[in-house]
Amino acid sequence: MSLYYKLTGALLISCLLLTSCTSNQNEAISAFQDEEVEEGQTITIENPEVLMEQTSANKEEGKQYQIQTRLTDFHLLTESAGIAWGSTRSELRLYLTQNSGKTWTSISPAASVQFPYHPKYNRDIFFVDASHGWIVRNSVGSSDAIVLRTRDGGATWKIASLPGSDKVVAIYFTDVSHGWILASKVHPEKEEKTLYQTEDGGVTWSKIMTSPSDADAEQDHVLPNSGGEISMIFQDRMTGYVSMISSGIPKLYTTNNGGISWSEVEDFFSTSKYKSCKQFIAGEMQFFSNEPLNGWIPVGCVKEGSTKFNGYYTADNGATWSLAPFSSFWQTGLNEALSPTFVSSEEGWLLHNSKVYHTLDQGQSWNELPKSKVLVEILADYPEIVKLRFSSNQVGWLLVAQSNQKRSLLLQTLDGGITWRVL
């Protein structure tokens, strides 16, 4: 291992300009799998300009350097491209791969932008492709929330403020220009939601809807001011959906004028089909890129310390939704709230007790895939399943963690979940 040098002595620097910690040239981060992971994913950076800024290590031509990053989330952009990130000392560490994890590039924003929490995709981070992305940093102290944006794959980041917002709960873009941010502001004894819109890629944001605490959501055609587990999607510049748990019940709202006014989707959910459930949880709403009119929302029934998910599906761009009961498992323990993941209206995967299950009939039946020794061994050390997603019927990523020890590993499958490797 003469070509590798452990990074030591991290130094924080002050960035006067909101440029990324990368140079204009791509810095490759090679996948490295054989090192023991002490506090996160071990990755190798080749000739990184970022090291000159973040550490006291001297950069030597042709050398490679190892760093450890605790990853907390990821997003697959295509079969071969994706982003993954985590926070270290309140600094966001964001990485991009465009070759299935063979090499990575650091696209982190400036260290001066602090993140005292772990950003999540569709809530704090959104990318439409490998070049165009946005990161929301919630308000800190008396400051407003801010939105960072890049148009060059993270080489540079620019900033915009989001006045009057405390906490962002959802972000979505339909293209490089048009996007929405849903924020929640909590006052003493009241709460209000505000929807912001941009038409210039995030340079400027304007309020297009506010639901104050005394608003009648149905009468005033706004989103309810209270509600959690929020997911937001826009199909185009006019049509959008917001799902949430409101008063303990899964609800779905739709807009046909770009978010200015909203109405509840009638007959979306009925408690009569879940008479024994004590509580409900909702997962992330999704429309399928290969089936643009088809989408689904996972809804979990909670009772007696266990949870079982079913799916609500649409095949007409959200005009109607129908329940698809899953013949899957009741889940308990650390991964109780882990829902199945789907790549189309019919094909999906589920992880249960270190086993991967596969469906081709919208969850009516699940077939156990051949046992993966690598996956079983890793899940024994990293029992928390943070996220499982597929970009095709062959390519998927899995993030697992040992939260008590602040450790994580990101894995990849290239054969539909049968075999796995550490990225």
Asked whether residue 14 is domain-assigned, the answer is no
Judge if 124 and 262 occupy the same domain: yes
310 in the same domain as 193: no
Mean pLDDT of 382-404: 96
Helix (H) or strand (E) holding 206: strand 206-211
Confidence of residue 32 (pLDDT cuts 50, 70, 90): very low
Confidence band for 297, pLDDT divided at 50, 70 and 90: very high
pLDDT over 90 at 419, yes or no: yes
pLDDT in tens, 40-61: 666 665 435 544 444 434 445 4
* 99 lies in the same domain as 138: no
Residue at 26 is within a domain: no
Strands 263-264 and 279-282: unpaired
Tell me, yes or no, whether 132 and 258 share the same domain: yes
pLDDT digits (tens, 9 = 90+) for 263-286: 999 889 999 989 899 999 999 999
Tell me the average pLDDT across 150-166.
91
Residue 100 lies in a domain: yes
pLDDT at site 184: 86
Q: How many domains does the chain have?
A: 3
Same domain, 196 and 315: no
Supply the pLDDT for residue 344.
98
Contact 173, 133 (CB under 8 A): no
For residue 32, is it within any domain? no
> Is residue 11 one of the residues assigned to a domain?
no
Of 206, 240, 266, the position where a domain reaches its end is 266
135 and 216 inside one domain: yes
Same domain, yes or no: 278 and 171: no
Beta-sheet pairing, 421-422 with 407-413? antiparallel
Distance CA 288, CA 193 (A): 28
Based on the fold, state whether residues 257 and 272 are members of the same structural domain.
no
- Let me know whether 157 and 238 are in one domain: yes
- Same domain? For 140 and 261 the reply is yes
Helical H runs in 22-95? 49-54
> Do 104 and 216 sit in the same domain of this protein?
no
pLDDT value of position 36: 36
Model confidence at 18, in pLDDT bands (50, 70, 90)? very low
- What is the C-alpha to C-alpha distance for residues 207 and 260, in angstroms, rounded to an integer? 9
pTM: 0.86
**For residue 146, what are the domain limits?**
120-266
pLDDT digits (tens, 9 = 90+) for 107-126: 999 999 999 889 999 999 99
- The residue from 200, 231, 266 where one domain ends is 266
Asked if the model's pLDDT at residue 3 lies above 60, the reply is no
